[in-house]
């Protein structure tokens, strides 16, 4: 996946309430103390801060979408801590990995057909530009999109390296194995260059939790993600792609100073 171009987040002040109006706000380390967040350094610390801060939005009785990846994992662990402190929630995992972690953390896991809806989802991203996302670095984007889109409120958690001026990373496209040649052909016709994602510790492709393959598709700078998202969605054989357009409600970016929250 191409390296994201960094855009410094706007830092406009210290937010005091989750009900603050739209616009970027920064939660400084003092806020970390209030929320019990660990103040560790580096990208790992930034991911932890973002995940743990987003988890403070979880309230008693909620159904929570549990995202996949290293940043969302921090949120899942923080929810586990809250459950041990008496919080009563249910979690809808977005992948095998998220489900395993949720079970380890004592979070009751449920499927979408067992709950009336999803109150809140917390999930990571591979690239973020103007509130639009590329996801699927872990191949979980199909289930993630279902759960994140179903949520009343979708919080994205990330470290600053995920910010970009323009989305330009490879777009993961989950594809029915039997449809791969025709989907590759159609993606080239759209100006993309597909590459079958291969497993690192097995000969052959990565197989998703849904039994499909992933094509990582380079399109260069994606100036109109909504158009490309629509075009990819229409291809027969495409199960789901990693462009998340107009789905995010809040972007929580962990930084060395705290957490910047942008409400969209």
Ramachandran angles phi, psi of 77, nearest 5°? -65, -40
The interface region with ligand R5P, picked from 4-12, 55-63, 66-74, 76-84 by CB under 6 A, is 66-74
Which DSSP symbol is given to 40? -
H helix or E strand, kind and range, residue 155: strand 151-158
Q: Which of 144, 174, 240, 262 is catalytic?
A: 144
Q: Is residue 70 at the binding interface for ligand R5P, with CB under 6 A as the rule?
A: yes
Residues 89-128 vs ligand R5P: string with x where CB under 6 A? ----------------------------------xxxx--
Least distance (Å) between residue 70 CB and ligand R5P: 3
H helix or E strand, kind and range, residue 79: helix 70-84
The interface region with ligand R5P, picked from 16-24, 34-42, 64-72, 114-122 by CB under 6 A, is 64-72
Q: How would you label 37-50 residue by residue, b for 16+ Cβ within 10 Å and e otherwise?
A: beeeeeeebbbbbb
Least distance (Å) between residue 73 CB and ligand R5P: 8
Residue 223 near residue 166 (C-beta atoms within 8 A): yes
State the burial class of residue 19 (Cβ atoms within 10 Å of its Cβ: 0-12, 13-18, 19+): exposed
Residue 39 or residue 43: which is nearer to ligand R5P going by CB?
43
Distance of alpha carbon 132 from its chain centroid, rounded? 11
CA-CA distances (angstroms) from residue 9 to 12, 128, 228, 251?
A: 9, 11, 26, 11
H helix or E strand, kind and range, residue 156: strand 151-158
Is 218 one of the catalytic residues?
Answer: no
Q: Which of 54, 64, 140, 238 binds ligand R5P (CB under 6 A)?
A: 140
Residue 12 or residue 175: which is nearer to ligand R5P going by CB?
175
Q: Which of 62, 64, 72, 235 binds ligand R5P (CB under 6 A)?
A: 72
Q: Which residues are annotated as a binding site for substrate?
A: 68-71, 123-126, 135-138, 162
**Binding residues vs ligand R5P (CB under 6 A):** 67-72, 123-126, 135-141, 144
Active centre residues (catalytic): 144
């Amino acid at each position: 996946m191409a390296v994201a171009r960094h855009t410094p987040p706007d830092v406009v002040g210290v937010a005091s309430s989750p009900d603050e109006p739209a616009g970027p706000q920064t939660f400084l380390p003092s806020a970390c103390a209030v929320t019990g967040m660990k103040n560790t350094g580096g990208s790992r610390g930034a991911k932890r801060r973002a995940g743990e801060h987003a988890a403070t939005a979880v309230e008693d009785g909620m159904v929570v979408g549990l995202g996949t990846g290293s940043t969302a994992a921090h949120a899942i662990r923080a929810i586990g801590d809250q459950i041990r402190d008496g919080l009563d929630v249910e979690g809808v995992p977005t992948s095998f990995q998220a489900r395993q972690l949720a079970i380890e953390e004592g979070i009751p896991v449920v499927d979408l057909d067992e709950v009336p809806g999803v109150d809140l989802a917390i999930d990571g991203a591979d690239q973020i530009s103007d509130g639009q996302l590329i996801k699927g670095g872990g191949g979980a984007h199909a289930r993630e999109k279902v759960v994140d889109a179903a949520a009343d409120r979708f919080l994205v958690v990330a470290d600053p390296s995920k910010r970009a001026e323009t989305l330009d990373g490879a777009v993961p496209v989950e594809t029915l194995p039997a449809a791969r040649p025709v989907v590759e052909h159609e993606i080239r016709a759209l100006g993309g260059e597909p590459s079958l994602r291969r497993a690192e510790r097995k000969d052959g492709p990565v197989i998703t939790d849904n039994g499909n393959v992933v094509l990582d598709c380079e399109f260069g700078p994606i100036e109109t993600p909504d158009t490309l998202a629509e075009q990819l969605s229409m291809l027969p054989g495409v199960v789901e792609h990693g462009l998340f357009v107009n789905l995010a409600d809040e972007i929580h970016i962990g930084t060395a100073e705290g957490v910047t929250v942008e409400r969209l």
